[in-house]
Structure 1
C-alpha cells in the first residue's frame, strides 16, 4: 500500500466519523469514495461511517473488482457514474442528512434547480442542485439518472433518498456536502417566508471568482 493510499484511508475514516458524530448521517447510511489513479477506495457495505476501520475500507480496481478490504457499498455504481462524467473530480460523499433528504421529498420544485441562492457559500461550494427521479436504493437506474446530470452539476438530490456530491478531493467533497445540508436547512426554515435571495448579478460574481468551476480559488477561511 502506498503512503498516499494509507493517508486517504485515514482521511475517509476521519471525515466519516466527523459526519456521523454531527448527525449528518445515521446508522449504516451514507458512503464515501475516492478515485485513485488505478481504481477506487469506498466505504464498505452495511458499515457505520462513525466507526470505520481504515484497513477494512474497500479497495477496487478500475472495473470495480474488489482487491482488498470488506465488500464495497452497494451504491458504488452511483459513485462510478458520477465521477466517470467528471474527470476533474476525485471524491464523492453521499449522505442521508435530514434537511437535504427533506428537500428531496418536496413536490413542485424545479428538478434542475432545487435550492435558491440563499447564501454565497452554496454558490462557492456546489452551485445549482439537480434532482433525480426516485428509484429504490441499489437500483442501477439511479446511476443512469446521475450520469444524465453529472456533467453540469456537482451536487444532486436523489428523490426521497438523500444527497450526493462530487469534488476535486475528499476534503472539498465533505465541505460541499456539509454546505448543502446547511442550505437545505435554511430553505426549509424559510419556506413560505419569501426570503431575500442573491441577485443574478451577485451569483454571477461568485461564480466568476469562487464558483465550483474555480474551486481551487475558494478562500481558505470559508
Structure 2
C-alpha cells in the first residue's frame, strides 16, 4: 500500500494536480487505521517511509505529523464505511468553479458526461472554512451519506472512493468536469437529462464510490 500510495501521489503531481506541497491523500489499511500524506511534503516526491500512520480514531501512531486536513479524512472514513481512500486537491478548475455564483450546494457540478456521473455522483459544495479547521469534517459528516465528492469553496475538491486508484481517477474526473463546465458556461449547450443520469446510476450504481 505504501508503494501504491507514493505512485498515485507522483502520478497526480506529474499531471499538475498537486503543485508544490498542495493536496493530501489517504488510504485505509486492511489491518486497521489508515495512511495519510504528511504535513509539508509534496505528493510528487513521497517515499514509503514518509507516510503518516493513524489509527481508526485518527490518533497519529508513526511517521511524520499528518496533514492538517486529518479531520476531513477521518470524517469521511467514519461516515462512509466502504471508503478505502480519499484525495483532496487544490486544482485550478475545481477551485474556480467553487467560487462561481449560483451553484446548487447539493449538485454543484452539472451532469455533462457519463463518467462524472459514474465516478462522482452529485457533488456537494461546502462553505469556506480555514484549511485544517475541524468544522470541514463536521460539514462532510452531515453530507457524506448522500455524497462522495465535494467542492470546498475557494479551496479545492475532496473525493472518496473504494480504492486509491478509484479515488485518484475520481479527483481527476472532478477537475476535468469543472474545466468543461467553465468552458461551457457562456456557450449554449446540452447536458445529460435527468432520465439519462438515472440510467447511468442504475447501470453503474456506486461501483466506483
TM-score range, shorter chain: over 0.9
Instruction: Give the structure 2 partner of residue 5 of structure 1.
Output: none
For residue 208 of structure 2, give the secondary structure of its aligned residue in structure 1.
Answer: helix
Cross-structure match for 2:16: 23
Q: Does 1:180 align with 2:174?
A: yes
Deviations 1:49-82 (A, max 9, x none): 0100111100112222222211110101100111
Give distance in 1, aligned partners of 2:73 and 2:7.
20
Alignment correspondent of 2:26: 33
Distance 1:117 1:63 in 2: 36
For the residue of structure 1 that corresponds to 2:106, the secondary structure is coil
- Give every structure 1 segment of 4 or more consecutive aligned residues whose post-TM-superposition deviation is greater than 4 Å: none
Q: CA RMSD in A?
A: 1.2
Return the alpha-carbon distance in structure 1 between the equivalents of residues 194 and 58 of structure 2. Answer: 42
Q: How does 1:62-101 map to 2 (within 5 A)?
A: 62-101=56-95
In 2, distance between residues paired with 1:17 and 1:99? 20
The Cα of 1:21 is off from its aligned counterpart by 1.2
**Could you state the TM-score of these two structures normalised by the residue count of structure 1?**
0.91
Question: Do the aligned residues in 1 keep the contact of 2:13 with 2:44 (CA within 8 Å)?
Answer: yes
Secondary structure, counterpart of 2:124 in structure 1: strand
- Match of 2:61, SS state, is strand
Instruction: Identify the residue that residue 203 of structure 2 maps to in structure 1.
Output: 209
1:170, distance to aligned residue in structure 2 (A): 0.4
Q: Which residue of 2 aligns with 1:57?
A: 51
CA distance in 2, matches of 1:202, 1:66: 44
Task: Give the C-alpha shift of residue 214 in structure 1.
Answer: 2.9
Q: Distance in 1 between matches of 2:80 and 2:18?
A: 25
Map of 2:123 onto structure 1: 129
1:127-206 to 2 correspondences below 5 Å:
127-206=121-200
Taking the aligned partners of 1:120 and 1:196, their CA distance within structure 2 comes to: 13
Residue of structure 2 equivalent to 1:104: 98
Unaligned runs of 5+ in 2: none
- The Cα shift of 1:136 comes to 0.6
Q: Distance in 2 between matches of 1:214 and 1:70?
A: 33
Deviation track 1:155-174 (CA, whole Å, cap 9, x = no partner) reads: 00011000000000101101
Q: Which runs of 5+ in 1 are unaligned?
A: 1-7, 217-222
Matching residue of 1:14: 7
Count of aligned pairs between the two proteins: 208
TM-score of the superposition, structure 2-length normalised?
0.96
